[in-house]
Amino acid sequence: GAVVSQHPSWVICKSGTSVKIECRSLDFQATTMFWYRQFPKQSLMLMATSNEGSKATYEQGVEKDKFLINHASLTLSTLTVTSAHPEDSSFYICSAPKGFAPDYEQYFGPGTRLTVT
Amino acid sequence: AQKITQTQPGMFVQEKEAVTLDCTYDTSDPSYGLFWYKQPSSGEMIFLIYQGSYDQQNATEGRYSLNFQKARKSANLVISASQLGDSAMYFCAMRVPNTNAGKSTFGDGTTLTVKP
């Protein structure tokens, strides 16, 4: 099956610094990628939809200036958490569908665990 | 708008027994896809099974089967012969074509614990 990678798998940073998370589709081109945030024992919360060559679409309540998304190519999307604070500590997961029909599987990255101290 | 409801926050099952995880959904679109994912403690999302709204038969994948009752809008996951490695969080999700850019709607999840 298709593979989506994420880097780094975990990161610890100090409050006030910025962190960049990369999401790559390894064997298919992804015009769209999704970024999710997940707190322990909770569901995935969609943060934004990343579109290649255009601006990301953010879900209601997600700060665009804090969570910068760039989809520079058909295989790479990045999420930058700017001026991170302890409340930004979470598990971040990206995913990419191979298509938009309902039977196209959505491939998930392995996730990035962010801890802000 | 689409909605997925998983009413069982936690479930316990004895090893080698079968277990059913409940999922109900709501959409006005006649074309949709239903998915189940497993998320172990490592955090990775593992695809288990898919059911299309127009599929006549219930989907099966090894020990996983999906009990699809369209009129009731339910898509329960049945795991047969539970194994200790099945202990994880399970999510039901739905995708509707041509809306929401193909993104999935997830339920709140069910934590399954398999007892030896």
Q: Do B91 and A110 touch (CB under 8 A)?
A: no
User: CA nearest A98 in B: which residue?
Assistant: B102
Say what the pLDDT of residue B99 is: 64
| Averages of pLDDT over each 10 residues, chain B, 116 residues | 94 98 94 94 94 94 97 97 98 82 88 98
| Structure confidence by residue, pLDDT tens digits, A100-109 | 666 677 899 9
Say what the pLDDT of residue A100 is: 67
Mean pLDDT over A91-107 rounds to 82
Say what the pLDDT of residue A105 is: 77
A106 contacts in B (CB within 8 Å)?
Answer: 35, 93, 95, 102, 104
Q: For chain A, give the percent of residues with pLDDT over 70.
A: 95
B52 contacts in A (CB within 8 Å)?
Answer: 102-103
| Structure confidence by residue, pLDDT tens digits, A19-65 | 999 999 998 888 899 999 999 999 999 999 998 888 999 999 999 99
> Which one-letter amino acid corresponds to residue A14?
K
Question: A40 is written with which tokens?
Answer: 């322990």
Query: How many degrees, rounded to 5, is the angle at CA A61 between CA A55 and CA A64?
Result: 35
Give the A-side interface with B, CB within 8 Å. Answer: 1, 32, 34, 38, 41-44, 46, 49, 51, 57, 91, 93, 95, 97, 99-106, 108, 110-111, 113
Bridge partner residues of B65 (DSSP): B60, B78
Decide if A98 contacts A105 (C-beta within 8 A).
yes
Q: Do A42 and B52 touch (CB under 8 A)?
A: no
Decide if A49 contacts B101 (C-beta within 8 A).
yes
